[in-house]
Amino acid sequence: MLRAWLLAALVFAPLGRAFAEGEAPPPPPPQEPVKVQERRLGDSAPALKVQAWVRGEAVDLKAGEGKTVFVIDFWGSWIPPCRETVPFLDGLQARCAEKGVIVVGLSVEEAPKVETFLKKLDAQPAYRIAVDPSGETRIAYMAGFGVTDIPHSFVVDRKGKVVWHGHPLDGLEEALGKILDGSYDLDAAKKLDDTRRLIPEYFEAAQAEDGAERAARLGQKIFDGLAGDPKLLSRFAYAILFNQKTARPDKDLAMKAAQTAYEKTGGKMLATQLAYARALFAIGKFDEAVRVQEEAVATAPAGRPREQMQQILEDYKKQAGK
């Protein structure tokens, strides 16, 4: 089943800590202990404190208030998933420039390292790129919002408030469109983000010998908070089933989350199919797991994604004796 977990990771949360072969991340700069200011959606955006602008003119968030929406993406040239987002962010800048959007890429690397990477690209990105080796701006955003993996983007609206954050390939353009046309629901986004912050607490409780009751309360709260987002609900279910530090994963909660997500999407979304099939398999409903995984195979794009879904299906069939 390890293979199933590895393949499923390609559908769920993008991996932010995968390093290119033969490369290593830049060493963290020596620092005094930093007190992190906890931040929430709707808070004022921290200033961008950078060492150098590698591409484009310097950005002043304050100067942009009232007229500009900023997308700030934290990335690293040594991380393959970050490299893969460069063309997307470049395209996003091109599509939204006339709407008053400025995209900024920010790395903790030294400028020469980023320059070397950029020079190897077939096409040079048109969005702004800066470096922050001290990590001060990254700490203000990433640690402030309780996230660690990159790439990770933040959207600052025309009022200078952070109103969205997440993986750039997972909802950024949709959220940006709503922010620009005035239909974005910040209150709903706040609720979802506050729920997300409970997930580490849930797993901490689930792993504790005396944490069962607390985990149950947190699990229900997370379920309620994510009920409106089938994709996140599916991820939560998958995380429960595959968290290696939890001796007794709450399969009932995972099943409830996965089934709810599946039903809310009419069984048509790949992420919900995959999670529901895995939850069914976890509780011993092998035939049903095979049936739903067959749906995932049919839904997956042709080529490598469908082949990966087929591999998981074969694992399930083998366990089911088919």
Element (H, E) at 154: strand 152-156
Model pLDDT, residue 31:
53
H helices within 120-250, ranges in order?
136-138, 172-181, 186-196, 198-207, 212-226, 230-242
pLDDT by residue (tens digit) across 214-267?
Answer: 999 999 999 999 988 999 999 999 999 988 788 889 999 999 999 999 999 999
Bridge-partner residues for 104, per DSSP? 72, 128
Domains of the chain plus CATH, in order, are 19-184 (3.40.30.10), 197-320 (1.25.40.10)
d(CA 86, CA 132): 18
Answering whether pTM is above 0.85, one says no
Model pLDDT, residue 246:
83
Confidence label for 159 from pLDDT (cuts 50, 70 and 90): very high
Residue 12 clears pLDDT 50, i.e. is over it? no
Please give the full DSSP string across 98-152, using - where no structure is assigned: GGTEEEEEEESS-HHHHHHHHHTSSS---SEEEE-TT-HHHIIIIITTT---SSE
d(CA 221, CA 202): 10
- List C-alpha distances in Å: 314 to 8, 287, 297, 307, 309: 14, 12, 11, 10, 9
| More confident call, 207 vs 7 | 207
Mean pLDDT score across all residues of the chain: 89
